[in-house]
């Protein structure tokens, strides 16, 4: 099991590695200073006060984990293009999720973390 995000990313084959890196860049563009990226449950996870969101690569898809489904409420229309299961969004290994959608979800998670 990887101990660092870099170790994890080194193990991810292309095109999934580039896809995850694009997702990570979008996430970093909206999280506040002091947010860290750690390995939790074996995958790259952003942490701000508590766990925020995570990303992972699998053989036939990548996943975005908003760590609960509350951040997805009201986004049903935008999520129709993705396979959604228990608060996990699956997307192709060669195509990151739209940046605007990722930002909305991350911002919703930030609000949740501030309240909790």
Average pLDDT, the chain: 94
What is the four-CA torsion angle of 42, 43, 45, 51, rounded to 10 degrees? -40
Confidence of residue 41 (pLDDT cuts 50, 70, 90): very high
Residue 68 has pLDDT above 90, yes or no: no
Residue 19 has pLDDT above 80, yes or no: yes
The DSSP result for 2-42, as a single string, is -SSHHHHHHHSPTTHHHHHHHHHHHHHHHSPTT-EEEEETT
Domain 5-115 belongs in CATH node 3.90.1150.200:
yes
pLDDT (0 to 100) of residue 34: 94
Can you give the residue ranges of every domain in the chain? 5-115
Mean pLDDT of 56-78: 92
Percent over 70 (pLDDT), the chain: 99
């Amino acid at each position: 099991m990887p101990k660092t995000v870099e170790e994890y990313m080194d193990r991810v084959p292309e095109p999934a590695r580039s896809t995850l890196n694009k997702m990570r860049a979008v996430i970093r563009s909206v999280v506040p200073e002091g947010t860290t990226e750690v390995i939790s449950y074996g995958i790259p996870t952003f942490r701000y006060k508590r766990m925020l969101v995570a990303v992972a690569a699998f053989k036939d898809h990548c996943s975005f984990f908003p760590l609960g489904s509350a951040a997805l409420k009201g986004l049903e229309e935008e999520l129709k293009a993705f396979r959604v299961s228990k608060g996990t969004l699956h997307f192709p290994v060669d195509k990151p999720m739209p940046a605007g959608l990722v930002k909305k979800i991350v911002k919703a998670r930030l609000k949740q973390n501030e309240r909790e």
